[in-house]
Amino acid sequence: MKLLLDTHALLWWWTDDPKLSLAARQAITDDGNQVLVSAASAWEIATKYRLGKLPHAAQALDRFNELVTADGFAHLPISYLHSLKAGTYSSEHRDPFDRMLAAQADLEKAVLVTLDTVFAEFQCRVLW
């Protein structure tokens, strides 16, 4: 199975936060699954760190690539197809990071690992 980590799931994975569900942990550690990390998550972490919403994320920013690759995850760049899909959703949800993750999950045929119920608006397959 192909998994795409929502930003909070990625951060909770890196910090071993108990808020990450057991099902998410098991799926991430399953060697049969491919785990993707979107460039949108790097963008979201950087933005929220700059705005003071993630004050403890400096290490995640400084070591983003190192942390992703050390866990055996794959980077998922943002393509023009992802951008077109994200921009054309009819949903009124305005968060650009959520829209991009939904588009990437759809186009990459990945299950989005997220606690956020907003993704039901985008008809994404989710795991939590």
The pLDDT tens digits of the residues spanning 75-92 come to 999 999 999 999 999 888
The pLDDT tens digits of the residues spanning 40-77 come to 999 999 999 999 999 999 999 999 999 999 999 999 99
Predicted TM-score (pTM) of the model is 0.95
CA dist 107 and 47 (Å) reads 25
Q: Which domain holds residue 106?
A: 2-127
* Residue 39 belongs to domain with CATH number: 3.40.50.1010
CA 31 to chain centroid: 19
- State percent of the chain over pLDDT 70: 100
Q: Which two tokens stand for residue 124?
A: 């994404």
DSSP E strands, the chain? 2-5, 34-38, 74-76, 111-113, 126-127
Count: domains in the chain: 1
